[in-house]
Every structure is written in C-alpha cells, then in structure tokens.
Amino acid sequence: MLPKAEGGHGCGDIRLQDLIFRKVTVPEYMRLPDSRAVAMTCLTGSAARQSVEKRQPVRVRGDGLKLESQEE
C-alpha cells in the first residue's frame, strides 16, 4: 500500500514537487516525458479521432509534424 501524500490539487504532493522542481533520483518509469513525447501523445490522440471520423487508417509521420490519411 502506498503512503498517503500530503498536498492538494493546486500544489501537488511533495513527491510531484520533487520530480518537477528538484533533481531527485527516480526509477526510469517515473521520469517525466520530454516535449517530443508529449507532442507525439497529442498527435496520436488526434490521429485516432481523425481515423474514427474518416473510417480509415491515419499515420503520424516519424518526425511528428503531420497526420497523413492512408488510402487503401
């Protein structure tokens, strides 16, 4: 069971503050994503929505700058 952390929604708990504002050693799975990873997450969501609307596959280009419909 995880220990209860103090803090509220507006300021985050101490562990989150340490991750963002202090240089603490954390396991790989807890590291914050870089800006490219965040952008790719947004594009993946947009591609999924576009794919559903168009009823066809949509590909996110490798550089993450464009969504492309795939004609079959």
Inside any domain, residue 3: no
Structural domain that includes position 52: 33-63
Inside any domain, residue 51: yes
Inside any domain, residue 6: no
Q: What is the chain's mean pLDDT, rounded?
A: 77
Three-class SS string for the chain? CCCCCCCCCCCCCHHHHHHHHCCCCCCHHHCCCCHHHHHHHHHHHHHHHHHHHHCCCEEECCCCCCEEECCC
Tell me: pLDDT of 14 over 70: yes
pLDDT for 22 equals: 80
Inside any domain, residue 46: yes
Q: What's the average model confidence in pLDDT over 49-72? A: 76
pLDDT band with cut points at 50, 70 and 90 for residue 2: low
Inside any domain, residue 1: no
Inside any domain, residue 48: yes
Inside any domain, residue 22: no
Number of domains in the chain: 1
pLDDT for 10 equals: 61
